[in-house]
A and B are shown apart, each in its own frame.
Chain A
Amino acid sequence: MQVFGLYNYWVVIILMMIGLYVVIASGNLIKKIVGLNIFQTSVFILYISIGKLDRGTAPILVEGVTSYSNPLPHVLILTAIVVGVATTALGLALAVRIYGAYGSIEEDEIQKQDNAS
């Protein structure tokens, strides 16, 4: 039972780590942003898992239902999703500008040009 109850969390952790791996290992700026998105989305799943309750239902109050899932993590993640898309939008805009300035979105290529100048 112990193992099964934690299984969910462990998969979520693996997902987070795949995201983080993509961020660190990619030299491509857009791929980095995709990695960040996977990382963050996985953290969202972590939060929502905290809110889940056995036999709970969605936290919209209805007559006759007494067991609801915890609404607080939902609220936090709604906020975090917005923060995530805001970061993505800005990051991609920077990547586009970098391509405009350097003609590349590969990290090592940009580094090379900076060192040359």
Chain B
Amino acid sequence: MIRTQLPALQVVIPLLAGPTCLLLHHSRLSWGLATSASWVALFISLALLDQVLATGPISYELGGWAAPWGIEYRIDEINAFVLLIISGISAITISFARTSIEHEVHSKHVYLVYTGWMLCLTGLLGIAITGDVFNVFVFLEISSLSSYLLISLSRDQRALTAAFRYLVMGTIGATFILIGIALLYMMTGTLNMSDLAARIPSVSDTRTVKIAFAFLTAGIGLKAAVFPMHFWLPNAYAYAPSAISALFAGTATKVAIYLLLRFFFTIYGVEFSFETMKLDRILLPMALAGIFVASTVAIFQTDIKRMLGYSSIAQIGYIVLGVSLVSVTGVTAAILHLFNHALMKAALFVALGCVFFRVGSVTRDDLAGIGYTMPWTMGAFVLGGLSLVGIPLTVGFISKWYLIVAALEQQMWWLAGLVLISSLLALVYVWRVIEIAYFGTPGDRSTEIKEAPATLLIPTWILIIANIYFGIDTSLTVGVAERAAQALLGNAS
């Protein structure tokens, strides 16, 4: 019985936990509840993935109304995987969050952080699981509003402006999505994703459907911070509390990318997206520009969190690059990188959270000599950084490998070369941190700095070990990503 109800529970458990955290009105209790809810969500998503891999896509009718009249949850390989990424990152980062949040957020707001966290998780999971486009909009707004709040709760006053800017950009993006949905509804009369997919081909030569496509792509692209629609991201990541940056880096943009995949492949179909609209010709240059511009800008950042923000934009570029190749290997690389990038970025932000906890700053100059005073933290940072660069035996290598194979499959030698060159840029910005941490001259305060407490280090190292584990044993990730890519591309035929 409980098995058939898992799709509903996946979202409803954090949804119930959110308001309950507010009612508890107690920092530690709220944290305890939110953490348990996150872990339960992780186990549910594992069970769902298992079920999907064993028996194929799951459909769940909310309210007992059949689609397209009611709202349907539809889980196949790709969103089961995305659900796993979101709930996994949330579960690990929230375990780390308690010490870090108590340090970085005003004590009377701590329970609100967990309320917001649960709401954000509800929103993200809701977007990933649903099979109804308007339901996507509603849950997108839940996750967005709670992220504006979470960013602004930081003690840094610049977080306020970052949150405000994100709010304005996010709302424009959401309204664009709303316009796109309206145009699609006009032409098809339905909001259900599979129903849309069935009805779009008969109207696919109308200008309306094409413009709807453009608006949806732009709106979701804004949310995903696809270059050149990324302006809100670096400050939002830089000034948010560390645990929140880790959560967002691992989940928020990933969900938006998933939505793009959903619209491109499932709803519109490969033929429309890439043959009628020639989307790959726009995506490819955008992805490359994103990778090179953002990586270069990252090199010149003095605030390390901001640097990682720019690096995220570049990494989103790799994902888009994989999509733009429109082959099973390319899309596999994109989906793999969704997972792998979530792991490495979360690990890096969590490690920076440890630094911030002891040093009170993550500016480059303040990190001088920290490699010796906080060996475990910086060790984790170095490993995470190597993963970001794409050194063998880390997850970063796996993503790059599949990307390069995909490029070579299509005889695009130059593209494979560019991917390699761009990795050198990543090496440069990661090296600049390592350089100052191990070879910089320590400041006066450095003797007071101690290693971060175990409550922070353990989750950091869990993430780092995951980075290495999934870099060696790729059977789970590559297997699922490949099946998901085949399912996405298979819909066209």
Q: Give A residues with C-beta under 8 Å from B.
A: 16, 20, 23, 29, 32, 36, 39-40, 43, 46-47, 50, 72-73, 76, 79-80, 83, 86-87, 90-91, 94-95, 97-98, 101-102, 110, 114
Contacts and interface: CB of A to CB of B under 8 A. Distances in A.
B417 to A, nearest CB: 38
B175 A43 contact: yes
B168 A91 contact: yes
A32 B209 CA distance: 30
11 contacts: A23-B168, A43-B178, A43-B179, A50-B186, A80-B178, A86-B141, A87-B167, A91-B168, A94-B167, A101-B160, A114-B161
B138 interface: yes
B73 interface: no
Nearest to B170: A87
Contact of A90 (B138, B148, B158, B172): B148
B59 interface: no
A36 B168 contact: yes
A49 to B, nearest CB: 9
Nearest to A101: B157
Nearest to B135: A79
B164 A91 contact: yes
B285 to A, nearest CB: 25
Contact of B182 (A43, A83, A94): A43
A95 B168 contact: no
B216 to A, nearest CB: 14
B199 to A, nearest CB: 15
B451 to A, nearest CB: 30
A36 B165 CA distance: 13
A59 to B, nearest CB: 15
A87 B141 contact: yes
Interface centre among B158, B161, B179, B185 (most CB of A within 10 A): B161
Contacts of A72: 191
A80 B178 CA distance: 9
Contacts of A110: 161
Contacts, number: 66
Interface in B137-171: 137-138, 141, 145, 148-149, 152, 157-158, 160-161, 163-164, 167-168, 171
A32 B170 CA distance: 13
A50 B179 CA distance: 12
Given A50-B182, A94-B163, A97-B152, A102 B157 contact: yes
A80 B137 CA distance: 9
Contact of B172 (A23, A29, A76): A23
Contact of B167 (A20, A43, A46, A90): A90
Contacts of B148: 90, 94
B134 interface: yes
Contacts of A39: 172, 175
A94 B151 CA distance: 11
Nearest to A110: B161
A95 B175 contact: no
B149, B171, B191 — most chain A CB neighbours (10 Å): B171
Given A50-B182, A50-B186, A86 B145 contact: yes
Nearest to B146: A90
A114 B158 contact: yes
B185 A94 contact: no
B157 A47 contact: no
Nearest to A29: B164
Given A43-B178, A87-B141, A98 B168 contact: no
Nearest to B69: A72
Given A23-B168, A87-B167, A94 B152 contact: yes
Contacts of A47: 182
A82 to B, nearest CB: 9
Contacts of B138: 79, 83
Contact of B145 (A29, A43, A90): A90
B157 A50 contact: no
B167 A91 contact: yes
A95 B179 contact: no
Nearest to A95: B164
A15 to B, nearest CB: 12
A98 B179 contact: no
A32 B168 contact: yes
Contacts of B168: 23, 32, 36, 91
Most buried by A among B141, B148, B149, B164: B164
